[in-house]
Chain A
Amino acid sequence: MIPAPFDYYAPNSLAEALTLLQQHGDDAKILAGGHSLLPAMKLRLASPAILIDINKISELRGIKVNGTVEIGALTTWSAIEQDAALAKACPVMAEAVSLIGDIQVRNRGTIGGSLAHADPAADMPAVVLALDAHIHVEGPNGPRTIAATDFFTDMLSTALEPGEIITSITFNSLGPGEGAAYAKFPHPASRYAIVGAAAYVKMENGQVTACRVAITGAGPKAERQPAVEQALIGTDGNADAIAAAAAHAGEGMDMLGDIHASEEYRRAMCKVYTKRALLKAVERAR
């Protein structure tokens, strides 16, 4: 439970961090909250020769709400959970974050670290997909923006290029007629998601006019659920319509199976939790 030896840098600016990353290439890892990286290092599953600690780069930290929401990559879960303006603009954020780990984990873990790590059982990937968020990065070739739908490419893999650092995440505030919810079936031991379902719906004149659903935990990466979304749009969002739509959850997805939940069971739980998330989201949208 002691990591292999490594060198440690704590740059003061993003530019410095990017230069260090470029210098050291594959030998280096960014250190944010350390709550995914350090456990892996202690188990010697990861042994980076160099850690670049970005915690001194204060511009990466903070929440701005102004019609749209911008969350700095280094913002901790507890900062997200406790932000009053964010709670008004997009309550699903606090709802989902409050289910991550425990207080200690939430005091250290960051949204940027979670997205970059792309753990198949992490919660936030489903939420950013359902909110249709954008992920902003800086790299050797300057800044660029990646849509959440393009970000998660495979298990523990993202669209981040070598040398790139996530700087912030943006998405729209929820307005009247919009509702979002996150429902999580926690792993019995780790409390990560066996299945986590995030849902967003827009209701106009008693009809569902837009819907985005994403599932995490069940497969190698978090994924949108187009069949569920299509089935719900155009309905009035009653419980039967939701159940019928949720029955499509997991369609076309590769399912993970392990000692805690088989593939078949995860598939069943996708439906249950999609239904639960949609029921809440529709209620909030009304």
Chain B
Amino acid sequence: MTQQPPHRYLGKARKSVDGIEKVTGRARYAGDVYLPGMLHGKLALSMYAHARIVRIDTAAAKAIPGVVAVLTAHDLPVRQHQPSSRQTTTLARDVVRYRGEPVALVLATHPAAAEDAVAALQIDYEPLPAVVTVEAALDPAAPVIWPQGAPRADADLTAAHAAVARGEEQNGHTVSNVHERKRFSRGDAHTALAAADVVVAGTYRTSIVHQGYLEPHAVVADVDPIRKQITLYTSTQGQFGVRDEVARLLGLRPSQVTVVPMTVGGGFGAKYGILEPLAAAAAMAVGRPVRIVLDRSEDFLTTTPSPASTITLKLGATREGILTALVAEIVIDNGVYPFTLGGIMSTLLGGYYRCPNVQIDVVEVLTHKPQAGAYRAPGAPQVTFALESSIDELAHRLGLDPLELRMRNAATTGDPMGNNDPWPSMGLTKVLEVAAAHPLWRNRTPGSGVGMAIGGWPCGMSPAAAVCRVDTDGIVRVHVGSVDISGVNSSFVLVAAEILGVPPEQVEIVAGDTRSGPFAGPSGGSQITYSVTGAVAATAREARRQLLEIAADMLEARIDDLDIREGEVLVRGVPGRSLPIGEVARRAQEQPGGPGPIVGEGRAAPAENAPGFVAHIVQVAVDQETGRVQPLRYVAIQDVGFPLNPLMVEGQIHGGAVQGIGWALHEALRYDERGELLTASLMDYTLPRAADVPSIEAVLVTNPAPNGPFGARGVGEPPITAGAAAIANAIRDATGARIYELPMRDEIVFQAIRQVSKEECL
């Protein structure tokens, strides 16, 4: 890399550009949009996991004052009648296949009338046998959910998250509830396992986890019935994808649909379009704007949580602690429509460590539950829990320091991932070195409840463009088409400021809708900073070039002698000769025969992703009499490449660590044997709260990505990966009990502790 002068703004902590709006309640979310003539929509959700809709009697509902329409599937102008995913769902036709599937939509002039009308709807169901659990779905005698074959997913959501896949298709042609079988392998894992000096084996179970965003799904659809145009104000992570899907479902051209991404109150993978097709179709049907805002229970019932998994894992190693074999089966409960995390899960499971012999079998299963979806580093917390718990057990078995064992086997750049592609530049050994030196690890004593785990994420990338304009008052506006779900705009500001030489307060990021915004990929897969920063930097460079070109004329100096500092163009070595950039912009706008107004364009399309690795060290206290676990200290070490805005990076690490604690100890959507959701409110679905979370120390490791902007890597997803395993290992240290199930609820830990004391008595 070329020698760079020290940065003026980049790499220095700077507060979030929209923090004030958010904490003072002035930020505008989708649910804040009120349009003239707008109708309030309320969903009637299926009460059954599987049933035939016999009859929908809307008379009583329609009689309620204020009710304008009661829509069922037959009333909607939708092209695709059989959904292939939750994203392509509007209203159920004839059969419902999960509790919470939308069946009807009431539209009323005010929300209370809509709610009364939903209560007054008479929907007769004929219950059908429901296949609720994976065990039931795999039973050869079980009813097949899709006897004609599982609907093909049109979009692979995981593609938004990381470029992975491969693996050999193992599907036979019999129709069953298994929609995909794949094998990922290298070497001869079974022979190596048989020959290993030491083998540890375990079956790990993880639960269905909701993304837990603060803002439930919300959308307002506006319609121009004459031009047949739809405008959607929505809470989304990717406006372009939503536009395309809505257009396809409604039989419109994409340019007939405008998607305006509003401030997002958290998405974490769940906001790629759930209500938008229905709201758009309903607005088309009645010719008026339609607003649908889910309440918390509806959001739990009808969105796309992270899938449950059962991971059976066997590790073989030499006495010296060199991994020789990894054999795994991953069974994933995807709910009603196909969803495929098996590829990324295998890529990580077979990739964290150098291991010559790997065999991972993936079984993707369908059940009568809501379709599974992406959640921050989709699949990673599950496999990391299994692998890092097993590695810890292996260390115990071998009498080795668990961190030392990891160091001996850690993958480095060029080693194969689980899909046998080589890892791009990655820094697992670097974070392990920092972890080894951390006092919480170094000074721990056995039984003090300290555990650690590593985790990682490939991180995504996508092409993006940006436009930069300079106004006459010196304000620089950078137009992007990406959605800021994680603070990316607060880094873009610094990038533009750095390159242009203006104070960050003079830079504004303008996030466009699908009409006005330059294209960017969706905000998933930790790709936005990595992908869009390049475009922002390029457009800022172009604007700078244009500024200098005009300023050279105004200052009668050579371009090479000019610099921009604090928003002033100056001639190097000539004090007093300077011009504010706003004046330069004015000249550009007014000068006949000049180059014209300042407008930069920038584009970027990164060619190689930059994985992010973490090492988390946790200390817990376990109440030995109850099994309740309280994390006391949490150290999150992460290779962030280069932190463009360290405050935003730390914020991402804090949030990811807290969600990791949720995976570890608290969160699970649980269904009864009929497929009824038992945790449909925050009175039963347990999110970690302030009192459950210790102070989190974020340690940023700077290991520049060769192709990342200024060396930056994606940082959003890696910090959620390791928490569950680190806490499991801390519990093992505190109690001697190994927990094989997430979340590690009080009662499960309690039973495991009892088991250990029983064994000790023998």
Chain A residues with a Cβ under 8 A of chain B: 1-2, 4-5, 43-44, 185, 188-190, 259-262, 265, 268-269, 272
State in angstroms the CA–CA spacing of A189 and B666 once bound together.
Answer: 8
Verify B625–A265 contact, CB threshold 8 A. Answer: no
Chain A residues with CB below 8 A from B686, complex form = 188-189
State in angstroms the CA–CA spacing of A217 and B684 once bound together.
Answer: 15
Closest 5 CB pairs of A and B: A189-B686, A190-B683, A188-B686, A2-B115, A265-B747
State in angstroms the CA–CA spacing of A98 and B666 once bound together.
Answer: 23
- A4, A43, A44, A188: the one contacting B746 at CB < 8 Å is A188
Instruction: Please tell me if B679 contacts chain A, counting CB pairs below 8 Å.
Output: yes
State in angstroms the CA–CA spacing of A69 and B626 once bound together.
Answer: 35
Verify B684–A189 contact, CB threshold 8 A. Answer: yes
Instruction: Please tell me if B750 contacts chain A, counting CB pairs below 8 Å.
Output: yes
Closest to B743 in A: A188
Say whether, besides A4-B116, A189-B686, A268 and B111 are in contact (CB < 8 Å): no
Closest to B625 in A: A272
With A5-B116, A259-B670, A260-B745 given, can you name 14 additional A-B contacts, CB distance below 8 Å?
A1-B295, A4-B116, A43-B297, A44-B119, A188-B666, A188-B745, A188-B746, A189-B683, A189-B684, A189-B686, A261-B746, A268-B750, A269-B626, A272-B626
Chain B residues with CB below 8 A from A185, complex form = 626, 628
State in angstroms the CA–CA spacing of A43 and B687 once bound together.
Answer: 21
Chain A residues with CB below 8 A from B687, complex form = 189
Chain B residues with CB below 8 A from A188, complex form = 666, 686, 745-746
Instruction: Please tell me if B678 contacts chain A, counting CB pairs below 8 Å.
Output: yes
State in angstroms the CA–CA spacing of A265 and B745 once bound together.
Answer: 12
Looking at B116, B678, B687, B747, which has the most chain A CB atoms within 10 Å of its CB? B747
Chain A residues with CB below 8 A from B746, complex form = 188, 260-261, 265
Say whether, besides A5-B116, A189-B683, A265 and B750 are in contact (CB < 8 Å): yes
Instruction: Give the Cβ gap from A244 to chain B, nearest Cβ, in Å.
Output: 16
Instruction: Give the Cβ gap from B216 to chain A, nearest Cβ, in Å.
Output: 11
Say whether, besides A2-B112, A2-B115, A272-B626, A189 and B682 are in contact (CB < 8 Å): yes
Closest to A258 in B: B678
State in angstroms the CA–CA spacing of A190 and B746 once bound together.
Answer: 15
Closest to A39 in B: B683
State in angstroms the CA–CA spacing of A260 and B625 once bound together.
Answer: 16
**Which residues of B656-714 are within 8 A (CB) of A?**
666, 670, 678-679, 682-687
Number of A-B residue pairs having CB atoms within 8 Å of each other in the complex: 47
Which applies to chain B's interface (DSSP): helix, strand, loop or mixed? Answer: loop
Say whether, besides A1-B295, A265-B750, A190 and B626 are in contact (CB < 8 Å): no
Chain A residues with CB below 8 A from B295, complex form = 1
Chain B residues with CB below 8 A from A2, complex form = 111-112, 115-116
Verify A262–B747 contact, CB threshold 8 A. Answer: yes
Instruction: Give the Cβ gap from B86 to chain A, nearest Cβ, in Å.
Output: 22
- B116, B297, B666, B679: the one contacting A259 at CB < 8 Å is B679
Chain B residues with CB below 8 A from A189, complex form = 666, 679, 682-687
Chain B residues with CB below 8 A from A260, complex form = 684, 745-747
Q: List, sorted by A's number, 14 A–B pairs whose CB atoms are closer than 8 Å.
A: A2-B111, A4-B116, A4-B119, A5-B112, A44-B119, A185-B626, A188-B666, A188-B746, A190-B684, A260-B745, A260-B746, A261-B746, A265-B750, A272-B626
Which applies to chain A's interface (DSSP): helix, strand, loop or mixed? Answer: loop
Verify A261–B747 contact, CB threshold 8 A. Answer: yes
Chain A residues with CB below 8 A from B297, complex form = 1, 43
Chain B residues with a Cβ under 8 A of chain A: 111-112, 115-116, 119, 295, 297, 625-626, 628, 666, 670, 678-679, 682-687, 745-747, 750
Closest to A190 in B: B683
Chain B residues with CB below 8 A from A5, complex form = 112, 116
State in angstroms the CA–CA spacing of A88 and B505 once bound together.
Answer: 56
State in angstroms the CA–CA spacing of A188 and B692 once bound together.
Answer: 10
Chain B residues with CB below 8 A from A262, complex form = 747
Closest to A275 in B: B625
State in angstroms the CA–CA spacing of A211 and B315 once bound together.
Answer: 56
Looking at B626, B745, B746, which has the most chain A CB atoms within 10 Å of its CB? B626
State in angstroms the CA–CA spacing of A259 and B671 once bound together.
Answer: 10
Verify B678–A259 contact, CB threshold 8 A. Answer: yes
Closest to A188 in B: B686
State in angstroms the CA–CA spacing of A259 and B666 once bound together.
Answer: 12
Instruction: Give the Cβ gap from B684 to chain A, nearest Cβ, in Å.
Output: 5
Chain A residues with CB below 8 A from B683, complex form = 189-190
Closest to B296 in A: A1
Chain A residues with CB below 8 A from B678, complex form = 259
State in angstroms the CA–CA spacing of A261 and B625 once bound together.
Answer: 14
Instruction: Give the Cβ gap from B163 to chain A, nearest Cβ, in Å.
Output: 37
State in angstroms the CA–CA spacing of A190 and B297 once bound together.
Answer: 15
Chain A residues with CB below 8 A from B112, complex form = 2, 5
Instruction: Give the Cβ gap from A122 to chain B, nearest Cβ, in Å.
Output: 14
Closest to A269 in B: B626
Chain A residues with CB below 8 A from B626, complex form = 185, 269, 272
Closest to A192 in B: B683
Chain A residues with CB below 8 A from B666, complex form = 188-189
Instruction: Give the Cβ gap from B209 to chain A, nearest Cβ, in Å.
Output: 14
Chain A residues with CB below 8 A from B115, complex form = 1-2
Chain A residues with CB below 8 A from B679, complex form = 189, 259
State in angstroms the CA–CA spacing of A261 and B747 once bound together.
Answer: 7
Instruction: Give the Cβ gap from B689 to chain A, nearest Cβ, in Å.
Output: 9
Closest to B688 in A: A188
State in angstroms the CA–CA spacing of A43 and B118 once bound together.
Answer: 13
Instruction: Give the Cβ gap from B475 to chain A, nearest Cβ, in Å.
Output: 42
Chain A residues with CB below 8 A from B628, complex form = 185
Instruction: Give the Cβ gap from B662 to chain A, nearest Cβ, in Å.
Output: 11
Instruction: Give the Cβ gap from B123 to chain A, nearest Cβ, in Å.
Output: 16
Instruction: Give the Cβ gap from B737 to chain A, nearest Cβ, in Å.
Output: 15
Looking at A1, A185, A188, which has the most chain B CB atoms within 10 Å of its CB? A188
Chain B residues with CB below 8 A from A4, complex form = 116, 119
Chain A residues with CB below 8 A from B750, complex form = 265, 268
Chain A residues with CB below 8 A from B670, complex form = 259
Instruction: Give the Cβ gap from A157 to chain B, nearest Cβ, in Å.
Output: 21
- A1, A259, A268, A272: the one contacting B684 at CB < 8 Å is A259
Instruction: Give the Cβ gap from A71 to chain B, nearest Cβ, in Å.
Output: 27
Chain A residues with CB below 8 A from B684, complex form = 189-190, 259-260
Looking at A259, A262, A269, which has the most chain B CB atoms within 10 Å of its CB? A259
Chain B residues with CB below 8 A from A269, complex form = 626
Closest to B115 in A: A2
Closest to A273 in B: B626
Closest to A185 in B: B626
Instruction: Give the Cβ gap from A143 to chain B, nearest Cβ, in Å.
Output: 36
State in angstroms the CA–CA spacing of A272 and B746 once bound together.
Answer: 14
State in angstroms the CA–CA spacing of A1 and B297 once bound together.
Answer: 9
Closest to B116 in A: A4
State in angstroms the CA–CA spacing of A269 and B747 once bound together.
Answer: 10
State in angstroms the CA–CA spacing of A189 and B685 once bound together.
Answer: 6
Closest to B112 in A: A2
Chain A residues with CB below 8 A from B682, complex form = 189
Instruction: Give the Cβ gap from B110 to chain A, nearest Cβ, in Å.
Output: 10
State in angstroms the CA–CA spacing of A261 and B115 once bound together.
Answer: 34
State in angstroms the CA–CA spacing of A1 and B666 once bound together.
Answer: 25
Closest to B111 in A: A2
Chain B residues with CB below 8 A from A44, complex form = 119
State in angstroms the CA–CA spacing of A5 and B679 once bound together.
Answer: 27
Chain A residues with CB below 8 A from B747, complex form = 260-262, 265
Closest to B685 in A: A189
State in angstroms the CA–CA spacing of A260 and B748 once bound together.
Answer: 10
Chain B residues with CB below 8 A from A261, complex form = 746-747
Closest to B748 in A: A265
Closest to B665 in A: A188
State in angstroms the CA–CA spacing of A4 and B628 once bound together.
Answer: 40
Chain B residues with CB below 8 A from A268, complex form = 750
Chain B residues with CB below 8 A from A259, complex form = 670, 678-679, 684
Instruction: Give the Cβ gap from B697 to chain A, nearest Cβ, in Å.
Output: 25
Closest to B113 in A: A2
Instruction: Give the Cβ gap from A189 to chain B, nearest Cβ, in Å.
Output: 4
Instruction: Give the Cβ gap from A118 to chain B, nearest Cβ, in Å.
Output: 18
